[in-house]
């Protein structure tokens, strides 16, 4: 830990009167990842905006900046791991403008182990003109590398997990965002847990609080299990013809045996997103969100 990090840490600790500890930086990567990605040293927690904003709550976690290339395009991401329990639930955060999702991911990694991978794009949704969540083409370096990292830390029986925060409401209804329980189309269906609430930070019932699942066919069992926990569900029906190269589509088409669970909440409402994470984790641990194994070898 260098002097500047130490100073920031001490100041926060003093201000908050808590001993949450501080983030560690630049931990060694597993050998097999060193072959596909390059580590770029972080000089201090302030060298990455998301780490700077969350460092005071990141005790027990380590953050690395990694880079890799897909053709000429350079991708830069933060890899955050729980030092004591690096294998567990592992989350993907493709959008750097969704700051609440980052804070929620910190909470999840501290509480449940595992970690997360977050795209860095100067605080923007797009990274040099590309939406990181519309870039999952088959056999691209991007897809291979992102899934390679996730699979290095994803615990057994864990689905692919993602976190997003979305802006209040939906543009079609005078809101600001592009995702809402109130807006559906032929292949994205809404399954509310109760009455949908409109407005800012309305908690689990907010039109922007939703668990996003995807698959070739509706999975009523998982939808019902999530609804029973008070969680709204959006289910994306995926087929190869309408593939938008998002993570949800890629997994439904190529890794359906593992499955996809994406927790979205309104931007700024970290406490609701944390609640949603807790409930989803309870369902995963109880087996209610378990996906089919790839294949079973006959005994
Ligand atoms: Zn997003």
CATH number at residue 194: 3.40.630
**Domain-embedded: residue 298:** no
**Domain-embedded: residue 215:** yes
Strands (E), the chain: 24-25, 38-40, 61-70, 73-82, 90-93, 115-119, 160-166, 188-191, 210-215, 233-237, 260-266
The confidence score (pLDDT) of residue 294 equals 43
Instruction: Report CA(119)–ligand 1 centroid distance (Å).
Output: 11
The confidence score (pLDDT) of residue 297 equals 41
DSSP string, 154-210: BPTTPPEEEEEEE-SS-GGGT-S-S--TT--BTTEEEE-SSPPB-SSS-GGGBTT-E
Beta bridge pairs of residue 13: none
**Domain-embedded: residue 296:** no
pLDDT tens digit string along 55-67?
999 999 999 999 9
**Domain-embedded: residue 266:** yes
- Residues in contact with 87: Cβ distance below 8 Å, sequence separation at least 6, in sequence order: 113, 114, 153, 154, 155
For the cut 50, the answer to whether the pLDDT of residue 18 exceeds it is no
DSSP state for residue 82 in the 8-state scheme: E
**Domain-embedded: residue 5:** no
Domain count, the chain: 1
According to DSSP, the β-strands at 38-40 and 188-191 are: unpaired
Q: Which of 247, 226, 236, 210 is nearest to 92 (CA)?
A: 247
The confidence score (pLDDT) of residue 242 equals 87
Instruction: Report CA(133)–ligand 1 centroid distance (Å).
Output: 8
Instruction: Report CA(298)–ligand 1 centroid distance (Å).
Output: 41
| Whole-number average pLDDT of the chain | 91
The confidence score (pLDDT) of residue 8 equals 67
Instruction: Report CA(86)–ligand 1 centroid distance (Å).
Output: 24
What's the domain range around 128? 21-286
Instruction: Report CA(3)–ligand 1 centroid distance (Å).
Output: 35
Instruction: Report CA(36)–ligand 1 centroid distance (Å).
Output: 25
- Please tell me the pTM assigned to this model: 0.91
∠ CA 263-266-269 to the nearest 5 degrees? 95
**Domain-embedded: residue 9:** no
**Domain-embedded: residue 51:** yes
pLDDT tens digit string along 68-115?
999 899 999 999 999 999 999 999 999 999 999 999 999 999 999 999
**Domain-embedded: residue 4:** no
Instruction: Report CA(179)–ligand 1 centroid distance (Å).
Output: 9
């Amino acid at each position: 830990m260098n002097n500047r990090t130490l100073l920031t840490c001490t100041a926060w600790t003093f201000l908050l009167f808590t001993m949450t500890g501080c983030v560690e930086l630049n931990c060694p990567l597993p050998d097999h990842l060193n072959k596909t990605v390059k580590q770029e040293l972080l000089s201090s927690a302030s060298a990455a905006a998301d780490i700077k904003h969350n460092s005071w709550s990141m005790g027990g976690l380590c953050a690395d900046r990694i880079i890799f290339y897909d053709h000429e395009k350079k991708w830069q991401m933060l890899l955050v791991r729980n030092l004591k329990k690096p294998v567990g639930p592992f989350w993907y955060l493709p959008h750097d403008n969704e700051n609440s999702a980052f804070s929620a991911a910190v909470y999840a990694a501290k509480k449940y182990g595992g970690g997360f991978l977050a795209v860095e794009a100067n605080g923007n949704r797009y990274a040099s003109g590309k939406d990181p969540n519309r870039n999952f083409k088959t056999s691209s370096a991007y897809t291979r590398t992102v899934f390679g990292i996730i699979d290095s830390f994803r615990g057994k029986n864990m689905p692919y997990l993602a976190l997003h925060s979305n802006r209040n409401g939906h543009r079609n209804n005078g809101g600001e965002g592009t995702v809402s329980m109130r807006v559906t189309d032929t292949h994205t269906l809404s399954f509310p847990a109760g009455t949908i609430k409109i407005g800012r930070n309305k908690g689990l019932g907010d039109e922007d609080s939703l668990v996003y699942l995807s698959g070739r066919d509706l999975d009523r069992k998982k939808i019902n299990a999530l609804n029973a926990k008070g969680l709204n569900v959006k289910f994306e029906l995926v087929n190869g013809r309408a593939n938008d190269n998002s993570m949800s589509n890629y997994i439904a088409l190529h890794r359906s045996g593992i499955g996809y669970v994406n927790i979205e909440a309104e931007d700024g409402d970290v406490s609701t997103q944390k609640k949603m994470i807790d409930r989803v984790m309870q369902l995963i641990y109880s087996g209610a969100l378990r996906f089919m194994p790839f294949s079973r070898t006959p005994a």
